[in-house]
């Protein structure tokens, strides 16, 4: 089934096909298939879904609905606003908010039946006080740091927590986060797994959660009671250096608005950073870094840039990606094969988010979450 979401049908600002510079197609069935694939790789543990950053740019509302229909019962987001959007589409789900408890926000969690992930003594004290005053029985997750050194209690802080505090705070999950799980041989993985086992011994009655997308592919000792895949749901490769076991999710096409010729020796784009070495034919496309085709994917005389598929063939970018436009060198395509109104493909099963990330010197996460709101979106 193909469902086009124009205007604000999905709570976003997607443009119509005629108005947009490009088309972003999102395969909800592939997201569900990836979740089921990951779920099949764990034994005796629950598979949640991390859908922060607007479901990694794919849209919280449709992604939540699809995963909820498939049987996903636990979701993780970064902020309260994201959690409210999940709640509207998954009324019975457990929803954890990873970035903790902003001061004075406890009532907002209670109002929408949301669960903060608490990673400091100050947060725990405020949440415990709120629950006692309000009589709120809702749960929360206790975050213990095992080596990321971002959020979470140190093990010595966690060891000093009294059992009465654990009960008063309503903790129903103990969690930590891998720093290097996408590098299976990294020594920090084993240290973090050992520290998390130590943390679990402090709170033997709490279910544990450590594994992210790549963590699922480590030793089964990393799985515990609940795993939290994110990027893998959306087609990112959780096993860098090996073939991607996940299905691709997004297809991105940009509209060609002009085909033009430049002479050898002329430059293209801002800064004159790319010089035509021969008589060159360019396809000018109506998307740019404001749409998530990040500037680091640009081509210069020194560095080749990303590629696009035009008329069934790979073609290189020419010059810098600007805010709303970019150029593709289509000189090697047959004459007359590229026309105004055609589309160039930047992401697909043949050009993955990780492929584009390599050309841009970044990671697939940034590519995916940068995709802008000006596209016409189609949910399949």
The CA R_g of the chain, rounded to the nearest whole Å, is 23
By annotation, the residues acting in catalysis are 52, 270
Distance in angstroms (rounded) separating the CA atoms of residues 122 and 218: 33
Tokens of 296: 């680091």
The two tokens of residue 230 are 């994110």
State CA 318 to chain mean position distance. 28
The token duo for 31 is 């997201």
DSSP string, 38-69: HHHT-SSSEE-EE-HHHHHTT-HHHHHHHHHH
Which candidate, 323, 275, 356, places its Cα nearest to that of 21?
A: 323
Residue 144 in tokens: 């213990």
CA 358 from chain centre, in angstroms, equals 17
Closest to 53 (Cα-Cα) out of 74, 79, 27, 34: 79
Give the whole-angstrom CA distance, residue 256 versus residue 177. Answer: 43
Asked if 212 and 233 touch (Cβ cutoff 8 Å), the reply is: no
- 């405020």: which residue's tokens? 126
Distance CA 301, CA 87 (A): 50
Is 186 buried (19+), middle (13-18) or exposed (0-12) by CB count in 10 A?
middle
For residue 266, is it left (φ>0), alpha (ψ between -120 and 50) or beta?
beta
């Amino acid at each position: 089934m193909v469902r086009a979401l124009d205007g604000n049908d999905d709570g976003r600002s997607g443009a119509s096909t005629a108005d947009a510079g490009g088309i972003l197609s999102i395969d909800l069935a592939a997201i569900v298939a990836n979740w089921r694939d990951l779920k099949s790789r764990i034994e005796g543990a629950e598979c949640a879904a991390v859908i922060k950053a607007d479901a990694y740019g794919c849209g919280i509302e449709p992604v939540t609905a699809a995963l909820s229909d498939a049987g996903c019962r636990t979701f993780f987001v970064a902020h309260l606003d994201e959690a409210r959007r999940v709640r509207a589409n998954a009324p019975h789900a457990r929803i954890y908010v990873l970035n903790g408890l902003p001061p004075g926000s406890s009532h907002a969690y209670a109002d929408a039946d949301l669960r903060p992930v608490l990673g400091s003594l100050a947060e725990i004290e405020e949440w415990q006080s709120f629950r006692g005053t309000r009589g709120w029985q809702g749960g929360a997750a206790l975050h213990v740091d095992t080596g990321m050194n971002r959020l979470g209690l140190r093990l010595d802080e966690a060891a000093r927590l009294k059992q009465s505090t654990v009960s008063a705070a309503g903790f129903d999950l103990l969690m930590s986060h891998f720093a290097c799980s996408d590098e299976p041989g990294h020594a920090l993985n084993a240290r973090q797994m050992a520290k998390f086992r130590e943390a679990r011994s402090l709170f033997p009655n709490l279910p544990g959660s450590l594994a992210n997308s790549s963590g699922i592919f480590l030793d089964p000792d990393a799985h515990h009671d609940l795993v939290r895949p994110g990027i893998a749901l959306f087609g990112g490769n959780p096993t860098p250096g090996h073939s991607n076991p996940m299905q691709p999710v997004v297809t991105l096409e940009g509209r060609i608005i002009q085909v033009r010729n430049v002479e050898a020796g002329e430059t293209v784009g801002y800064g004159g950073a790319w010089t035509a070495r021969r008589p060159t034919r360019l396809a000018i496309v109506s998307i740019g870094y404001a749409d998530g085709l990040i500037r680091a994917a640009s081509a210069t005389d020194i560095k080749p840039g990303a590629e696009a598929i035009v008329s069934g063939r790979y073609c290189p970018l020419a010059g810098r990606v600007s805010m709303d436009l970019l150029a593709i060198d289509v000189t090697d395509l047959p004459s007359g094969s590229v026309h105004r109104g055609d589309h160039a493909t930047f992401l697909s099963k043949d050009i993955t988010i990780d492929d584009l990330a390599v050309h841009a010197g970044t990671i697939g996460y940034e590519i995916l979450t940068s995709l802008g709101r000006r596209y016409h979106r189609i949910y399949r």
